[in-house]
Chain A
Amino acid sequence: MSTTSETLYRNRRIKNAIALLLSGAAALFGLFWLVWILWTTLRTGISAMKPGLFTQMTPPPGSDGGLANALFGSLVMSVVAILIGAPIGVAAGTYLAEFARKRPLGEAIRFVNDILLSAPSIVLGLFVYTLVVHTTGHFSGWAGSLALALIVLPVVVRTTDEMLQLVPGQMREAALSLGVPQWKVTLQVLYRSALPGIVTGILLALARISGETAPLLFTALNNQYWTADMSQPMASVPVVIFQYAMSPYDSWHALAWAGAFVVTVFVLLMSLLSRAILLRNKARHD
């Protein structure tokens, strides 16, 4: 009797140990790819870095050059995308959190927003293509910005909604009881309180669009030359990386790695920065 229960107990212990070991192995497995990918990008990227990267244009096959026009194009299109997407996103988030918290319409918008958040980005590119490029008849930086803005939008809506819901109800009541109109309460009390969270959302959106390739492929297309005219096709770092990495030329591969390095460092910095803002904000509230 006691031997059976002891075997049973031992078997359960062994099963437990194996399962826990496997879970540790899974965590190691996950970290292993992270380290491998980051290490490759950093090592190959740093060796491909050179001062000309930021001053020279993207080269024709076989010759030497930099990524100046692509970096500029990415910067301009990302900033414009944020300028379009963030205000609409903040306003929509405000609607969800302040006016439609338990309403069916609010729930529907929240649902659609979450779908938009994980929708394939290439589909958004196709949408903007049929909407803008097809009707105007040519690829343009504006179309690229619009496609990126559609990616910014759901991220900002979600964070704004969540952050405004975290603002205590007493704050609204206190301000409203002083006779302050609701729009003023929202702009001057609620936004001020939720600002770190909203900024975090915008930074995360910026991190996300700075590496997006698929929606730019057939909206902004690419441009071998420097252009500040957004009604022209515009180069961007991810699209140039895509084009150069798929090419057979070694010098283009090196440039692609340098671009990948710049994008990765930027994205990591953005996510660290947003994390730091959130942590500081949390520490201040506790």
Chain B
Amino acid sequence: MSQAGAIPSTMTVAVGHANRRNTRDARADGCFRWIVAAAGLFVLIALLGAALSMLWGGREAFGTFGFGFLWSTDWDAVNHKFGAMVPIYGTLVTALIAMLIAVPVSFGIALFLTEVAPNWLRGPVAAAIELLAGIPSIIYGMWGLFVFVPVMGEYVTPWLNDHIGRIPGLGALFTGPPLGIGMLTAGIVLAIMVIPFISSVMREVFLTVPMRLKESAYALGSTTTEVVWDIVLPYTRSAVIGGVFLGLGRALGETMAVTFVLGNAHQLTASLLMPGNSIAATIANEFTEADSDIYRSSLVALGFLLFVVTFFVLAGAKWMLRRMARQEGEK
């Protein structure tokens, strides 16, 4: 204690400075921490806010039509009667067509890029497919409307009518006028859009399969197909499903590509060659023209339904992908 007096005054000043600097640094660190934490919370609030605001905006529609909103096929702006069935049906059917095409093709692409192609070809082809993912959806829509729709109307629809349309049962799906626009066209354009997403996820997870597993199988005399089917796919199953769900989430919520080629027709038809409507396309087409509160509220309610569905699909995708990552971490 008595030594305290022996410390030169310059040193106490220095210690005082250091103390003051320490408190200042601690305060700045605290501030910094709060700022970045607030930004992190903002992400949470943004998603929550989006959900709540749409629920709020759609309350009038939900309140007026009740649960009937979900399965009513009405869409009558004059008499203010709205139901979500037609857009829901269109969204599900187009997304289903897209997945039926995109999943096998993406699997093939991923297989080609990880097992089949010579090494020098893998990089460029993967990069090109990823470029396809970067093209804005409105370009797909325009291309679909001006280039693909005429092809569908002139060649594909008549052919489908003549050949598959005659088969009883299945034929009902493929009978219709040669308009070019319709559910099938929209599904195909969607498939082209989601192929890059699904195939790049699949490619990435295929690359995580340990080399020694594959080499062991090859050493036992397996063919490439058998290695992929019996080793790679079981090993990556949950992540592959996650990738498919990710693509499904995109397909369900895609707006512009579908709006151009779907035809904006509020009707429920079995035929895939007839124009229809999807949730996103309905909102895009009609929102600025909605002239009554209940009309606008119904469109917001549609948006809320879309949001809820895509949330669960994407959450499923995340969960599956994470399961794979965790499995990977345990090894």
Interface residues of A (CB under 8 A from B): 12-13, 15-16, 19-20, 22-27, 29-31, 33-34, 36-38, 40-41, 44, 88-89, 91-92, 94-96, 98-100, 105-106, 108-109, 111-116, 118-124, 126-127, 129-131, 134, 150, 153-154, 157, 181-183, 186, 207-208, 210-214, 217-218, 221, 238, 241-242, 245-246, 253, 256-257, 260, 263-264, 267-268, 271, 275
The answer on a CB contact under 8 Å between B57 and A16 is no
Main secondary structure of the interface of B (DSSP, over half): helix
Asked if B226 is an interface residue, CB under 8 A from chain A, the answer is yes
**Cβ–Cβ contact B142 & A20, under 8 A:** no
Cross-chain contact A214 with B47 (CB below 8 angstroms)? no
- A213 touching B109, Cβ below 8 Å: no
**Given known A16-B226, A40-B147, contact A26–B128 (CB-CB < 8 A):** no
Closest to A29 in B: B105
Given known pairs A34-B128, A109-B43, A246-B260, the reply for A181 and B280 (CB within 8 Å) is no
Closest Cβ neighbor of B223 among chain A residues = A16
Task: Point out the residue from B33, B109, B192, B254 that lies within 8 Å of A99, measured CB to CB.
Answer: B33
Whether A120 and B136, one on each chain, are in contact in the complex, defined by CB atoms closer than 8 angstroms, is no
Contact check, B303 vs A238: say whether CB atoms are below 8 A apart.
Answer: no
Query: Do A210 and B136 form a contact, CB below 8 Å, given A116-B46, A245-B145?
Result: yes
Interchain CA distance A59-B269 in the complex, whole Å: 39
Pairwise interchain contact A15-B223, C-beta atoms closer than 8 A: yes
- 9 shortest A-B CB distances, which residue pairs? A211-B136, A26-B108, A120-B253, A91-B39, A183-B32, A16-B223, A95-B40, A95-B36, A181-B25
Instruction: Tell me, in angstroms, the Cα distance from A105 to B252 when the chains sit together.
Output: 29
**B132 proximity list for chain A (CB < 8 A):** 30, 33-34, 37
Which chain B residues lie closer than 8 Å to A214 at the CB level? 255-256, 280, 284
B residues 67-113 in Cβ contact with A at 8 Å: 104-109, 111-113
Which residues, 210 to 250 on B, are CB-close (under 8 Å) to A? 223-226, 228, 246, 249-250
Instruction: Determine if B129 and A127 form an interchain contact, defined as CB atoms under 8 angstroms apart.
Output: no
Q: Decide if B40 touches A183 in the complex (CB within 8 Å).
A: no
User: Given the interface contacts A37-B139, A116-B47, does A267 sit within 8 Å of B134 by beta carbon?
Assistant: yes
Give A94 to B111 CA distance when docked, in angstroms.
Answer: 36
A contact residues around B129 at 8 Å (CB):
27, 30-31, 34
A-B contact pairs, 12 of them (CB 8 A): A30-B129, A111-B318, A115-B314, A118-B246, A118-B310, A123-B303, A130-B54, A183-B28, A207-B134, A213-B256, A241-B138, A271-B131
Complex alpha-carbon distance, A124 and B310, angstroms? 13
Task: For chain B, residues 250 to 264, give those with C-beta under 8 angstroms from any C-beta of chain A.
Answer: 250, 252-256, 259-260
**Residues of chain B contacted by A34 (CB below 8 angstroms):** 128-129, 131-132
In B290-315, the 8 Å CB interface with A consists of: 299-300, 303, 306-307, 310-311, 314-315
Residues of the A chain whose Cβ atoms lie less than 8 Å from the Cβ of B256: 213-214, 238, 242
CA of A98 to CA of B137, assembled, Å: 35
CA distance A168 to B54 in the complex (A): 43
User: Smallest distance from the beta carbon of B49 to chain A beta carbons, Å?
Assistant: 7
Closest residue on chain A to residue B145 by CB atoms: A245
The chain A residue with its CB closest to the CB of B114 is A23
Least Cβ–Cβ distance between A186 and chain B, in angstroms = 7
Check if B138 sits within 8 Å of A122, measured CB to CB.
Answer: no
Residue of A nearest to B107 (CB): A26
Residues of A within 8 A of B134 (CB): 207-208, 267-268, 271
B interface size (C-beta, 8 A): 90
Task: State the CA gap A114–B129 with chains docked (Å).
Answer: 22
A208–B29 CA distance with the chains assembled, in angstroms:
34
**Whole-angstrom distance between the Cβ of A187 and the nearest chain B Cβ:** 8
- CB-CB under 8 A from B13, the residues of chain A are none
Give the shortest distance, in Å, between A189 (CB) and chain B (any CB).
Answer: 14
B35 at interface, CB cutoff 8 A? yes
Q: Across the interface, which residues of A come within 8 angstroms of B115, CB to CB?
A: 23
Contact in complex: B139, A123 (CB < 8 Å) = no
Rounded to whole angstroms, the CA-CA distance of A126 and B37 in the bound complex is 27
Chain B residues within 8 Å of A275, by CB: 127
Chain B: CB-nearest residue to A113:
B43
Given contacts A12-B223, A186-B32, contact A154 B43 (CB under 8 A): yes
Q: Give B24's nearest chain A residue, CB to CB.
A: A181
The answer to whether the Cβ of B116 comes within 8 Å of any Cβ in the partner chain is yes
